[in-house]
Structure 1
């Protein structure tokens, strides 16, 4: 796909992402949905209301009535879609920096559009083949105030509230000024937890930290865990479809370790789990121990969800799936990444152990990730050509379903272009951090040399 990446379309506002562009995306989506009603939601970004207005106007031009949900976590918008049976245009750039925004499209079943449907939307967008209606058939717009509360009530109904309440947990929460600030604090309190917060004021400038929940951005959360003597720290990204954790000592927990712990608790022999090509050996080990099958896809929620749908149609049970960035899916609950639900499932693990104990069996690997930016398509292509040459000369087993992953037996390294930013990402994992750093650095240097020539 030329427009929609691994998780929608994103870019810098008033450069790649303009009101006119978002309007065209919404025209294409509205023409493809063929639905009498479409909802529009957004995260807290400063430009979100402007772009949501553009999307709503364009949808009305296709004849759709528009439900304006306001600021709402992406999983909350997906819950609304499923409950009401209407598709959603979600204005969000998820974990990207404040100057970014974007669009994610959700079907009337509450699931991100499949690649096939996204390609139909994209074909209409690129050809500007829109089904606009006469003036007297245009849609009307109304605001919906209940979506956030209904989302929280749905979460509460899906979780073992008694198990969590009996554990008497203190949760330190960092919603990162994003949409989760309007739902997660209440949710955890209603689960019976004591909740302390940082960066919990909705603010699209993200003054406390950047939206991406990585260790470099979450120092305040670690401090809060220690200061409040909390049992666990929870962080979201900008649209709250991800959850990252700190243990009771204020130590960052690798997302891959969390995914492994949650997966081991959910998987049985004969089940299938799905992850992306940057999968940690931790999840490979869990699949082997539980007798489950592990399927790999290109990186991005769209690809994982598409594969889960295919597996379900073939009769396979997929109780858990996701990536080590905190984006976990529990398809028996909903085929969507949901940071609040993921956090609650992790809290369930803490009923009889500490957070550090819950992930202790998955601590044996070190992960390194580096980004190499580029300014032109030529630089991007030069780096990808260098990655192909590097992979061809390496004494490792290559996987090329998304970029170039090289498995060395004791470690692996992956280089692939981001689907949401002008960067090529390099990932590495090994039992020793020095080994992972060495693999990432060597691959990165080969790419950087090609880019800078």
Structure 2
């Protein structure tokens, strides 16, 4: 969009969901996710259409139709990323990388970028498949067993996976440890500030790690919290000039690149960070923990009937009833769902998903056991288990 000077763009994709979730993503100038007022307006117009209003073009005529221009070259996109990377530093580290596109679209671009930087790249699940090999194309630990095995068998420096439309990233380090999106955000923010010498704030949604707050404070910067939805991250980054913004579900963006999620660029920048350090990825994370401490997040999702949803809405948001916790509640926020801030720095979020019929409950505490116990208190209080 930026290269072509387009005001809008659309992608037909299921993203990190099953193929049956296929839908349309709308983007505005700069690659930013369209704001709700734009998508709501489009939805209203679409809902008002009748069969007679819809015109189509035969498949064999599409390429020659006067309203259609076919763009197949990816060179401008690849070059835009290479221009922002320290390619020379990467070249001299001879990194060994295993790449898993998860049957999606990232291989052509990401493999080309990494091989241009003289990385040794092994690709698995490279075949394009609209059904994603019958699996969920979400780069999470549970879906990436083959990638982890390949990293360990080949002694790779890093294992890298992208979701179906390549806007989310999943990573395994040299020890075969899965690094969550929260950890990647912290590592990249620290690298941008210390390794590249940038200065600026960070933006996260309300269900993303507060370790980012600690990194920002240590460098005299600020961490801005926004509702779930990448459009909020993009808008706050534009407002504040933040250097990086992202979410625990796996999407992030960096100042100077597009204003939307891009797993290809994020993965490339992570490789630059690794090469610049001359260290193992596992060692870099150990250093982060030593410097800023450790926070662990637990996330659960609960399905419900329409009647049960109404009950949960009444309890959580009309009456604003909450359980007791093992530490004092500092304050609560209803910016997006409900977020409970605990006196020891931990937190809990309960919110209805905007894409699936589930109630998501997140908690972050110093240990996984504490985080899970915090989630369990909310689950039991709401009667979500028998």
TM-score (norm 2): 0.86
* Aligned pair partner of 1:400 in 312, 328, 334: 334
178-187 vs 341-350, greater mean Cα deviation: 178-187
Structure 2 distance, partners of 1:401, 1:185, is 40
The alignment yields a C-alpha RMSD, in angstroms, of: 2.6
Aligned positions of 1:141-156 closer than 5 A = 141-146=68-73, 148-156=74-82
Is contact 1:199-1:208 (8 Å) kept? no
Is contact 1:269-1:291 (8 Å) kept? no
Task: Provide the residue aligned with 2:267 in structure 1.
Answer: 343
Q: Which runs of 5+ in 1 are unaligned?
A: 1-80
Task: Provide the residue aligned with 2:296 in structure 1.
Answer: 366
Deviations 1:388-432 (A, max 9, x none): 444376642212111111121332211111111111111111111
Structure 1 residues 192, 409: closer, same or farther in 2, change over 3 A? farther
Structure 1 residues 98, 123: closer, same or farther in 2, change over 3 A? closer
Task: Provide the residue aligned with 1:271 in structure 2.
Answer: 200
Structure 1 residues 223, 128: closer, same or farther in 2, change over 3 A? same
398-407 vs 353-362, greater mean Cα deviation: 353-362
Matched, 1:190 2:124: no
How far 1:133 moved relative to its partner? Answer: 11
Structure 2 distance, partners of 1:208, 1:158, is 36
Structure 2 distance, partners of 1:421, 1:414, is 17
Deviations 1:295-342 (A, max 9, x none): 111112122112223x1xxxx321111112321111222212111111
Structure 1 residues 373, 139: closer, same or farther in 2, change over 3 A? farther
**Paired residues, number:** 361
Structure 1 residues 323, 362: closer, same or farther in 2, change over 3 A? farther
Aligned positions of 1:73-92 closer than 5 A = 81-86=1-6, 87-92=8-13
Q: Which runs of 5+ in 2 are unaligned?
A: 57-64
How far 1:170 moved relative to its partner? Answer: 0.6
Structure 1 distance, partners of 2:78, 2:36, is 29
Structure 1 residues 305, 143: closer, same or farther in 2, change over 3 A? same
Aligned positions of 1:291-306 closer than 5 A = 291-306=220-235
Structure 1 residues 126, 182: closer, same or farther in 2, change over 3 A? same
Q: Secondary structure at the match of 1:427?
A: strand
Structure 1 distance, partners of 2:198, 2:323, is 36
Structure 2 distance, partners of 1:317, 1:179, is 30
How far 1:106 moved relative to its partner? Answer: 1.5
Matched, 1:382 2:316: no
Q: Secondary structure at the match of 2:382?
A: helix
Task: Provide the residue aligned with 2:60 in structure 1.
Answer: none
* Aligned pair partner of 2:149 in 223, 227, 230: 223
Task: Provide the residue aligned with 2:378 in structure 1.
Answer: 443
